[in-house]
């Protein structure tokens, strides 16, 4: 029997929208793109500041929590993942970085060196037209004073640099992979929302469709592409019987292919920061008119605080000040963020963090139950490698110096937390232990590569047929900056590779 669709792409996120659109553009066949969450038609999705209300809202955020983190005093961290058309790219801050060129060369995966991936980045950027943010706060603009040789160019992880970042925003509105690639849906592509996949269906060894959590089944002639992200894709794969046999046996899941590394290699960019009080956006009596006018200012001019994705800029530098590649990234937020345990606090100020560009620590993702309604166990493994903590503490020290050097002028604030008294190695380590979080960049749980890697360099899942992965989970190692652009590049390469391999 022939199915209505040739491919089912699971997850309409940053990578999935592009993989699906490229498959039909290259005439590989008809594509059904299915998404667990709702459409992205809320004004909060398009307005940059809207993410403040979406994060933590179960309608548009999967709201996962990590396992207790051994090196962070047993704390559980939020693992925010977008749950709607556009995926995490509809809930994120839209910071746009390709990564360092040598990030891709270091992967050492055939077909994924810098020269292989650069054309895919260009193709994505032609559709999304990312660019330097307009209307950034003067504090963020002042970061350019740190490395003046580069003028007002957005910084880059290639060398030490600071300033206003580039974003995938156009005229003060989010432009996600969904906006750039599936609106309007190209001929041959059907998008269906509010359909959550439980597992892959197989005919023999070949993926032939999916079963949804409501028990219904959908078929595909040529196969299935998993684009459910670094948490969703390995979870679906394990529920489908592809994963570490011992774990699947324990949960009563029939083992189709023993793949020890499925769910392994989970990592993210760990970060910790400094809060300053003084100038910057915040909740004070004098700022009430500013907040009251913000919606109108945004509607009329697409500027002002509602046009800010909160993160506006930052820096890349070497944590120890060595004449080597930057190994940490700063995100700069010209808003007062609460550090006293409350979401909203009285006062104004700004925040800057330090995140490790190329962390060495690794964790793992495991199913906690065969029921798709049960959240997986997400052990981020932060600071399992102690050199990450050393780098973060060194980076915090240097960040303090940089914040003192920046030409903030009359906008300069004073460090309020952890505060100038927290100087010693021991005290800074304690600050990291109590406050570190991640940048929401989980990758690596279905790494591609040779040998025992679960996914081969053509994005095909080893041990079965007609099943591919196209999302951030295939990165063998995280890129040196934010992961949205690289995820989209992976979606684009997936469209190219699967079309070529399915003729």
Ligand X SMILES: Cc1cc2nc3c(=O)[nH]c(=O)nc-3n(C[C@H](O)[C@H](O)[C@H](O)COP(=O)(O)OP(=O)(O)OC[C@H]3O[C@@H](n4cnc5c(N)ncnc54)[C@H](O)[C@@H]3O)c2cc1C
**Contact with ligand X (CB under 6 A) among 232, 381, 454, 495:** 232
Nearest CA-CA partner of 85 in 172, 177, 20: 177
Task: Give the burial string for 263-282 (b: 16+ CB within 10 Å, else e).
Answer: bbbbbbbbbbbbbbbbbbbb
146 binds ligand X per the rule CB under 6 A: no
Asked if 408 and 139 touch (Cβ cutoff 8 Å), the reply is yes
Active-site annotation holder among 257, 411, 431, 441: 441
What mask of x and - would describe binding to ligand X in positions 202 to 231, judged by CB under 6 A?
-------------------------xxxx-
**Contact with ligand X (CB under 6 A) among 5, 6, 8, 11:** 11
DSSP 212: E
Q: Is position 54 annotated in a ligand binding site?
A: no
Q: Is position 95 annotated in a ligand binding site?
A: yes
81 binds ligand X per the rule CB under 6 A: yes
Q: Is position 90 annotated in a ligand binding site?
A: no
489 binds ligand X per the rule CB under 6 A: no
Report the alpha-carbon distance of residue 8 to residue 23 in Å, rounded.
11
Describe the chain by its helix, strand, coil percentages, rounded to 5: 30, 25, 45
83 binds ligand X per the rule CB under 6 A: yes
Q: Is position 85 annotated in a ligand binding site?
A: no
Q: Please identify, among the stretches 361-369, 381-389, 450-458, 476-484, the one whose residues bind ligand X according to the rule CB under 6 A.
A: 476-484
Strands (E), 256-369: 257-258, 264-266, 270-283, 313-317, 328-333, 347-356, 363-366
Q: What is the distance of C-alpha 176 from the center of its chain?
A: 13
Q: Please identify, among the stretches 25-33, 40-48, 77-85, 444-452, the one whose residues bind ligand X according to the rule CB under 6 A.
A: 77-85
Report residue 369 as tokens: 């139950």
Which residue minimizes CB distance to ligand X?
A: 13
Report the alpha-carbon distance of residue 149 to residue 160 in Å, rounded.
10
Q: Cβ closer to ligand X: 82 or 278?
A: 82
431 a catalytic residue? no
Number of CB atoms found within 10 A of residue 322's CB: 9
Asked if 455 and 469 touch (Cβ cutoff 8 Å), the reply is yes
What mask of x and - would describe binding to ligand X in positions 399 to 428, judged by CB under 6 A?
------------------------------
Q: Is position 92 annotated in a ligand binding site?
A: yes
Residues that bind ligand X (CB under 6 A): 10-16, 34-37, 55, 80-83, 87-89, 91-95, 196-197, 227-230, 232, 236, 440-441, 471-472, 482-485, 487
Which positions make up the binding site?
Answer: 92-95, 197
Q: State the catalytic residues.
A: 441
Which positions make up the binding site for FAD?
Answer: 92-95, 197
């Amino acid at each position: 029997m022939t199915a209505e669709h040739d491919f089912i792409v699971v997850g309409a996120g940053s990578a999935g929208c592009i993989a699906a659109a490229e498959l039909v553009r290259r005439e590989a066949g008809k594509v059904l793109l299915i998404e667990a969450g709702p459409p992205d038609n809320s004004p909060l999705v398009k307005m940059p500041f809207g993410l403040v209300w979406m994060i933590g809202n179960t309608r548009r955020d999967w709201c996962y929590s990590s396992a207790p983190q051994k090196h962070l005093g047993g704390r559980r961290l939020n693992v925010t993942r977008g749950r709607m058309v556009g995926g995490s790219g509809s809930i994120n801050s839209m910071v746009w970085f390709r990564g360092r060129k040598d990030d891709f060369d270091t992967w050492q995966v055939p077909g994924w060196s810098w020269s292989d991936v650069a054309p895919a980045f260009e193709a994505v950027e032609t559709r999304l037209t990312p660019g330097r943010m307009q209307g950034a706060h003067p504090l963020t603009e002042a970061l350019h004073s740190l490395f003046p040789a580069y003028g007002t160019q957005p910084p880059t992880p290639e060398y030490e640099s600071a300033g206003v970042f580039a974003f995938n925003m156009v005229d003060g509105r989010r432009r996600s992979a969904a906006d750039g690639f599936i609106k309007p849906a190209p001929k041959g592509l059907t998008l269906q929302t509010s359909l959550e996949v439980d597992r892959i269906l197989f005919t023999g060894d070949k993926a032939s469709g999916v079963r949804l959590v409501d028990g219904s089944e959908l078929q595909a002639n040529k196969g299935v592409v998993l684009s459910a992200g670094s948490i969703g894709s390995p979870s679906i794969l394990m529920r489908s019987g592809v994963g570490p046999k011992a774990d699947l046996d324990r949960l009563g899941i029939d083992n189709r292919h023993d793949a020890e590394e499925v769910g392994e290699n989970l990592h993210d960019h760990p970060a910790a920061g400094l809060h300053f009080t003084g100038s910057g956006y915040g909740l004070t009596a004098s700022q009430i008119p500013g907040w009251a006018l913000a919606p109108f200012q945004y509607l009329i001019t697409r500027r002002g605080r509602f046009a800010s994705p909160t993160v506006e800029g930052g820096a890349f530098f070497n944590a120890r000040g060595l004449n080597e590649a930057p190994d940490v990234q700063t995100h700069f937020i010209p808003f007062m963020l609460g550090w006293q345990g409350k979401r909203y606090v009285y006062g104004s100020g700004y925040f800057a963090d330090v995140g490790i560009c190329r962390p060495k620590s690794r964790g793992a993702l495991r199913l906690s139950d065969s029921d798709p309604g049960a959240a997986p166990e997400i052990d981020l493994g932060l600071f399992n490698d102690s050199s990450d903590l050393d780098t973060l503490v060194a980076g915090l020290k240097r960040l303090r110096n940089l914040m003192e050097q920046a030409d903030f002028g009359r906008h300069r604030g004073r460090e309020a937390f952890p505060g100038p008294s927290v100087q010693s190695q021991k005290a800074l380590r304690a600050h990291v232990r109590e406050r570190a979080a991640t940048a929401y960049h989980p990758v690596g749980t279905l790494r591609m590569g040779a040998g025992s890697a679960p996914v081969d360099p053509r994005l095909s899942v080893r041990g079965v047929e007609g099943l591919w992965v196209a999302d951030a989970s295939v990165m063998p190692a995280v890129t040196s900056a934010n992961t949205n652009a690289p995820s989209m590049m992976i979606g684009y390469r997936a469209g190219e590779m699967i079309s070529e391999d399915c003729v």
